[in-house]
């Protein structure tokens, strides 16, 4: 029973370019709300949020940290081990209507992959193609995103924070994978055995 208490907190880092919807994803997941003007303000430094979700009958506490895109690459390059200390998951977000945001994921993904390999092999990285509600303005195909994620060993999902499509699923699916990894790497309980 004690294992349930000790391992029900999951820490996530949300990174990506300006205007991809990182803050909107955080707000949609933690408060189930959307603020159209929120995206215009941009994250000054760091935003955070919390949410408790029941997954497979277990209470899971999500702690989310969204880092401004100006900080993301610098933080990753300069302080990789401490930046990820305690993080269980990373959400790497791009905007399906802006190719440049997808292309910038390559820089961040190389740093993330190196970090995973050298410091934190259990961390789950999910590539998120956000703004799927704007399919008529899409410039990055689903297949491109999926291929990129597969090549880097990341999970992949497309979301829309605006209409709440797949936002919660992105976190729940990664949480399930995190718990499977915890069980695999440490022998601690997964959801199935908690």
Residue 185 predicted with pLDDT over 70: no
**What mean pLDDT comes out for the span 34-48?**
60
Question: Distance between CA atoms of 96 and 166, rounded to whole angstroms?
Answer: 14
pLDDT confidence tier of residue 4, bands split at 50, 70 and 90: very low
Q: Which uninterrupted H or E stretch holds 185?
A: helix 167-186
The better pLDDT of the pair 194, 13 is held by 13
Extended strands (E) in 28-113:
46-55, 58-67, 89-95
The better pLDDT of the pair 2, 161 is held by 161
- Please check whether residue 191 is in contact with residue 56, taking contact to mean a CB–CB distance below 8 angstroms: yes
Question: Distance between CA atoms of 86 and 95, rounded to whole angstroms?
Answer: 27
For residue 68 the two structure tokens come to 């401004």
């Amino acid at each position: 029973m004690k294992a349930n208490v000790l391992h029900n907190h999951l820490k996530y880092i949300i990174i990506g370019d300006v205007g991809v919807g990182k803050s909107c994803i955080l707000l949609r997941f933690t408060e189930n709300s959307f603020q159209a003007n929120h995206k215009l303000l941009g994250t000054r430094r760091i935003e955070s949020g919390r949410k408790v979700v029941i997954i497979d009958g277990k209470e899971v506490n999500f702690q989310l940290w969204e880092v401004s895109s100006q900080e993301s690459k610098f933080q990753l390059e300069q302080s990789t081990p401490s930046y990820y200390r305690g993080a269980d998951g990373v959400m790497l977000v791009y905007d399906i209507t802006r190719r440049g945001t997808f292309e910038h994921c390559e820089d961040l993904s190389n740093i993330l992959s190196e970090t995973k390999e050298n410091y934190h092999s259990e961390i789950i990285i999910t590539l998120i193609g956000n703004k799927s509600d704007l399919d008529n303005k899409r410039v990055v195909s689903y297949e491109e995103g999926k291929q990129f994620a597969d090549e880097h060993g990341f999970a992949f999902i497309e979301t829309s924070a605006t209409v709440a499509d797949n936002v919660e699923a992105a976190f729940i699916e990664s949480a399930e994978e995190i718990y499977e990894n915890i069980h695999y790497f440490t022998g601690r309980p997964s959801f199935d055995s908690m």
